[in-house]
C-alpha cells in the first residue's frame, strides 16, 4: 500500500540534513482532519537550522513540490500540515482490502525473527484465577498479532508444576485421598488437602520432614511420588483445558518449571565460572545490591533451587532451542523485581547478545470484580470457567428477551459472552488495573466487545439487504468523499500501522481501541448516510465501504481472540 508518511518524509529529507527514519518518526497525525492528514513539527529542526519553527516551515513549504500524492501543504504555527490526495487514498485502501481479503494489514516485517510469547502459566493443583485469565487473553492476542506480521512465534505455557509444595501435597494425598473424589471440583479438593497438610506441618515437625522427603523423592524419580505428582498435573491440566477451549487458546509448548528441574546445574556452573555466585548464610546468591535489585537467590541453604533458578535455566534452554529475538513474559506487575533480577543474572549465562536484549517482561495490572455472584468480597475464589459460563448465560438471556427467534442462539451467545470478557481484558492499557463489572462488560452500546460485534453484524445485514457485495469496479470513489466516509477510510488505512505499534509496545489495547474507533465511525457513517439508496451508484459505494469495515472488524477482532457472530 502507498506509504504516505514515508513519501512526506522523503520530501522533507531532500531539504534538510536529517535521517529519513528520524524525520518519519517526527511526523504526526493531527487530532482533527481539518489540520491535515499528517503534520511535521518544525521546532524539531529549529536547533540545527538556528531559525524559528515558523520560518523553517515557510521555507520548506516553498521547496516541497506538490504531486499526485500530496494535494496541499499549509503552515500553521510552526507546523507543516500535509493534505494527501483523498481520491488516491480511498482507492488505495479499498483496492488493498479487495486484493488482500483475509490478510489485510498483515506483512512480512517479522520474517526471520523468532519470538517467544510466554503466557497463561497457571500453577498445578491451584486455582486458575482471574489474573491468569487476563494473562492468557493478553498473551494469546500478542501471539496472534506477531504471527500476522510474519514473526516465527512460539507460545509457551510455563506451568507452575514444581516446588516444595508438591512434597506437601503428596503427604496430604497419602493421608486423606480416599475422602475426595477429585472429579466434581478436583482443584478445590487439592486446595483443601493443601490447607490441611499445612496446618499439620505447623503442629508436627515430623510431618514437615516427611513432606521435604517427598519432594526429594520426586527429584529422585520415586515411582509413587512421581505418580501422585503426575496425577495432580493431569487433573489440573484437564481443568485448565476447559478454559482454554472456551477461549480458543492453544500453546506450542507446555514446558513448565518441572521441565527445567534437571537443567539447573549448568546455570550454577556458569554463574560460578563468572564469579557471580556468593555464599550467604549457606545459600548461594547473586548480589545485585549495586543495581538496586537486592539479592537473587540461586540455591537455598538446604541446596534446593528456586523459581528464579528455573527461569534462568529456561532462558538458557530457550536461547538454544529457539534462538529467540524476543522472549516476552506476560506476567503480573507484582513480579517486576523477579524479572529484573533474572534478566540481570542472565548476563552471566553466555547467551547471544540478541537473546539477552530480547528478554522482556510484559507486565499487566490486577483485575478486580465488583458485582455478581463472583464478588471477591464474598470471599469466594473466582472460578474462571464459571465466570466465562456466566457471561455466556447472561448473553443467552438477553437474546431470549430481545431476539427469541434468532438462529443458533447457543453458538452466538458463546461468541458474544466470551468475546465480551476477552475485550474487557484488553480495552485499556494492560499495565492498568482492571475492574470487572458485568454492566460494563456486556453493555451493547458501550466501548465493549459486544458493541464491535453489533456493528459488524450491522455491516453484514447491509450486504444481506442488497443481496451481494458490489464489484469494486462499480464503486465510484468520488462518492465516498464526505466527512464520515473519509474518517473511515483513514482509519482503515491505519490498520497495519496499529498492528506494528502493538508489537513495538507489546500493547494489544491499541488494537482494541482502534476497533472501537472504527466501530464508532461506522455508526456515525450509518446514521448520517442512507446506505440503501435510490441512486444505485451511491448505494454501491456505501455498501462496499460497509463490507470493507466488516472485513477489518472481523480480522482485528480475530487477532484479539474474539469471534464474530452472524446475527445479534
Ligand atoms: N506460575 C506463575 C504464577 O502463577 C507465573 C509464572 C510466570 N513465568 C515465569 N517464567 N516465571 O504466578
**Tens-place pLDDT, residues 152-171:** 999 999 999 998 889 999 99
Please report the sign of the dihedral spanned by the C-alpha atoms of residue 472, residue 475, residue 477, residue 483: negative
Mean pLDDT of 389-408: 94
pLDDT value of residue 553: 98
Q: Is 163 in the pocket of ligand 1 (CB under 6 A)?
A: no
Q: Enter the C-alpha cell of residue 27.
A: 511526523
Does 329 sit in the ligand 1 pocket, CB within 6 Å?
Answer: yes
Residue 373 has pLDDT above 80, yes or no: no
CB 130 near ligand 1, within 6 Å? no
pLDDT of res. 48? 86
> What's the confidence (pLDDT) of residue 164?
85
Lateral strand order in the sheet of 277-280? 277-280, 283-287, 295-299
- Mean pLDDT on 211-220: 90
Nearest-angstrom CA–CA distance, 156 and 253: 5
Average pLDDT, the chain: 94
Average pLDDT over residues 200-210: 94
Q: What is the layout of strands, in order, in the sheet containing 326-332?
A: 152-156, 114-118, 326-332, 359-364
Q: Using the atom order of ligand 1, give the atom closest to the CA of residue 314.
A: 10
pLDDT at 372: 47
Instruction: Answer yes or no: is pLDDT of 210 > 60.
Output: yes
Atom of ligand 1 nearest to the CA of 131: 4
Query: Minimal CA–CA distance to 477: which of 69, 38, 84, 93?
Result: 93
CATH 1.10.730.10 residue ranges for the chain:
384-560
CATH architecture of the domain formed by 384-560 = Orthogonal Bundle (1.10)
What CATH number does the domain located at 4-84 have? 3.30.1360.70
Ranking 206-210, 215-219, 411-415, 460-464 by mean pLDDT, the lowest is: 215-219
For residue 405, count CB atoms less than 10 angstroms from its CB and return exposed for 0-12, middle for 13-18, buried for 19 or more.
exposed
Residue 449 is predicted with a pLDDT of: 97
Q: Which pLDDT band holds residue 101 (cuts at 50, 70, 90)?
A: confident
Taking each helix axis as running N to C, give the angle between helix 536-560 and helix 509-528, from 0 to 180 degrees, rounded to the nearest 10. Answer: 160
Q: Where in the chain is the domain with CATH 3.30.1360.70?
A: 4-84
Question: Cα of 310 to ligand 1 centre, how many Å?
Answer: 11
> Is the domain defined by 114-369 classed in CATH 3.40.50.620?
yes
Ligand 1 contacts CB of residue 158 (under 6 A): yes
Residue 376 pLDDT greater than 60, yes or no: no
Q: What is the pLDDT, as a whole number, of residue 371?
A: 54
For residue 123, report the distance from its CA to the centre of ligand 1, in Å.
Answer: 8
Give pLDDT, residue 380: 53
Closest of 418, 425, 439, 415 to residue 509, by C-alpha? 425
Most confident of 32-36, 163-167, 556-560: 556-560
In the reported structure, the alpha carbon of residue 334 is separated from the centroid of ligand 1 by a whole-number distance in angstroms of 11
Q: How far is the CA of 158 from the centre of ligand 1 (A)?
A: 7
- Return the ligand 1 atom nearest residue 256 CA: 10
pLDDT at 375 over 70: no
Flag whether the pTM goes above 0.85: yes
Among 141-155, 186-200, 236-250, 480-494, whose mean pLDDT is lowest?
186-200
Q: How many other CB atoms are there within 10 angstroms of residue 331's CB atom?
A: 21
- Give me the pLDDT at residue 302, please: 80
Span(s) in the chain for CATH 3.40.50.620: 114-369
Which pLDDT belongs to residue 381? 65
- Residue identifier of the C-alpha nearest atom 5 of ligand 1: 121
- State the helix-helix crossing angle for 409-426 and 536-560, rounded to 10 degrees: 70
- Residue 190 near residue 125, CB atoms below 8 Å: yes
% of the chain surpassing 70 pLDDT: 98
Does the Cβ of 382 fall within 6 Å of ligand 1? no
pLDDT-derived band at 257 (thresholds 50, 70, 90) equals very high
Amino acid at each position: 500500500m502507498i506509504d504516505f508518511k514515508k513519501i512526506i518524509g522523503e520530501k522533507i529529507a531532500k531539504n534538510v540534513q536529517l535521517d529519513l527514519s528520524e524525520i518519519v518518526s517526527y511526523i504526526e497525525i493531527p487530532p482533527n482532519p481539518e489540520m491535515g492528514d499528517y503534520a511535521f513539527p518544525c521546532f524539531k529542526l529549529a536547533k540545527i537550522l538556528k531559525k524559528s519553527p515558523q520560518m523553517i516551515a515557510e521555507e520548506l513549504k516553498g521547496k516541497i513540490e506538490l504531486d499526485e500524492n500530496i494535494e496541499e501543504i499549509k503552515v500553521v504555527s510552526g507546523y507543516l500540515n500535509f493534505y494527501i490526495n483523498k481520491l488516491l487514498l480511498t482507492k488505495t485502501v479499498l483496492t488493498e482490502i479487495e486484493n488482500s481479503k483475509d490478510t489485510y494489514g498483515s506483512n512480512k516485517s517479522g520474517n526471520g525473527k523468532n519470538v517467544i510469547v510466554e503466557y497463561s502459566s497457571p500453577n498445578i493443583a491451584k486455582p486458575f484465577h482471574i489474573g491468569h485469565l487476563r494473562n492468557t487473553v493478553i498473551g494469546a492476542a500478542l501471539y496472534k498479532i506477531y504471527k500476522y506480521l510474519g514473526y516465527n512465534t512460539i507460545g509457551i505455557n510455563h506451568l507452575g508444576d514444581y516446588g516444595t509444595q508438591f512434597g506437601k501435597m503428596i503427604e496430604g494425598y497419602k493421608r486423606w485421598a480416599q475422602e475426595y473424589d477429585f472429579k466434581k471440583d478436583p482443584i478445590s479438593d487439592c486446595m483443601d488437602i493443601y490447607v490441611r497438610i499445612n496446618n499439620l506441618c505447623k503442629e508436627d515437625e515430623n510431618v514437615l520432614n516427611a513432606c521435604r522427603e517427598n519432594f526429594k523423592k520426586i527429584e529422585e524419580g520415586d515411582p509413587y511420588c512421581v505418580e501422585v505428582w503426575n496425577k495432580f498435573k493431569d487433573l489440573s491440566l484437564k481443568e485448565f483445558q476447559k478454559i482454554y477451549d472456551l477461549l480458543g487458546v492453544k500453546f506450542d509448548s507446555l514446558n513448565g518449571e518441572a521441565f527445567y528441574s534437571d537443567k539447573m546445574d549448568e546455570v550454577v556452573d556458569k554463574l560460578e565460572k563468572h564469579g557471580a555466585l556468593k555464599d550467604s548464610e549457606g545459600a548461594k546468591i547473586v548480589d545485585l545490591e549495586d543495581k538496586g535489585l537486592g539479592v537473587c537467590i540461586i540455591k537455598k541453604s538446604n541446596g534446593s533451587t528456586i523459581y528464579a533458578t528455573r527461569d534462568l535455566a529456561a532462558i538458557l534452554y530457550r536461547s538454544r532451542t529457539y534462538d529467540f529475538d524476543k522472549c516476552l513474559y506476560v506476567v503480573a506487575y507484582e513480579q517486576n523485581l523477579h524479572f529484573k533480577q533474572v534478566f540481570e543474572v542472565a548476563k552471566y549465562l553466555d547467551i547471544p547478545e540478541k537473546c539477552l536484549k530480547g528478554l522482556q517482561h510484559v507486565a499487566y495490572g490486577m483485575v478486580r470484580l465488583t458485582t455478581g455472584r463472583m464478588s471477591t468480597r464474598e470471599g469466594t475464589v473466582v472460578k474462571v470457567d464459571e465466570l466465562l459460563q456466566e457471561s455466556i448465560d447472561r448473553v443467552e438471556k438477553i437474546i431470549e428477551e430481545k431476539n427469541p427467534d434468532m438462529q443458533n442462539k447457543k453458538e452466538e451467545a458463546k461468541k458474544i459472552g466470551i468475546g465480551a470478557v476477552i475485550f474487557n481484558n484488553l480495552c485499556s492499557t494492560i499495565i492498568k488495573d482492571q475492574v470487572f463489572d458485568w454492566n460494563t462488560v456486556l453493555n451493547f452500546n458501550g466501548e465493549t466487545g459486544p458493541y464491535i460485534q453489533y456493528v459488524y453484524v450491522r455491516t453484514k445485514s447491509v450486504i444481506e439487504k442488497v443481496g451481494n457485495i458490489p464489484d469494486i469496479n462499480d464503486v465510484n470513489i468520488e462518492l465516498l468523499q464526505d466527512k464520515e466516509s473519509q474518517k473511515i477510510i483513514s482509519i482503515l488505512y491505519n490498520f497495519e500501522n496499529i498492528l506494528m505499534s502493538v508489537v513495538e509496545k507489546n500493547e494489544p489495547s491499541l488494537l482494541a481501541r482502534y476497533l472501537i474507533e472504527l466501530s464508532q465511525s461506522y455508526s456515525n457513517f450509518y446514521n448520517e448516510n442512507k446506505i440503501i439508496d435510490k441512486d444505485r451508484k451511491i448505494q454501491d459505494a456505501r455498501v462496499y465501504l460497509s463490507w470493507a469495515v466488516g472485513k477489518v472488524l472481523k480480522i482485528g477482532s480475530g487477532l484479539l481472540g474474539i469471534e464474530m457472530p452472524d446475527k445479534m
